[in-house]
Amino acid sequence: MKNYYRQKGAVLVVALLLLLVITLVSVASMQRSVLQERMTANLYERQLAVQQVEAALRSAENWVAAQLPDPRVQIPANAWFYNVPVVAAVDRWQDPLTVWRDAPAINTDMANSAQYFIEYLGEWPSPTAPDCASSTTIEPECLSPTFRITARNIVTPGTPEVLMQTIWRL
């Protein structure tokens, strides 16, 4: 009977060790699940921001198209429509003095919408005939007004920053 009493304590120690191992595995699994949930939420927020910025680009492109035949006449009337950028100047999307136009919101899940501004880039050759400007006589349809549209989402703490640009040509 002396062996029987000695084994009672060993079972308790083994049971406590197994309980400790199970607890550690459970805690590690919960931490991994929480991390995956945060990553999924961040991806969701980023996708919403990308959609907002793409919608702002489309809104700006529609605005330029509505100003045909010559959108350049609207430059003085709109603070967010800029003339040709200066080469040595800071890029407008990095300049805090740049005026941005609010775009219509498409995602009601987001508190912040997107903004955009438009820059006239000058007359550029058509992509269908890029060498037309190198000839001595430039055809009238060779060069066309070109615009750069820059859009961004409004960043608040905890939201991703998205900035996109597109080139729009008549």
Please name the residue ranges forming H helices in the chain.
Answer: 2-66
Residue 103 to residue 56: CA distance in whole angstroms: 5
pLDDT in tens, the chain (170 residues): 566 665 667 788 888 999 999 999 999 999 999 999 989 888 988 888 898 999 999 999 999 999 988 899 998 999 999 999 988 899 999 999 999 999 987 866 666 789 999 999 988 887 777 777 777 777 777 888 899 999 999 888 878 899 999 999 87
Residue 132 is predicted with a pLDDT of 77
Question: What distance lies between CA 147 and its chain's CA centroid?
Answer: 20
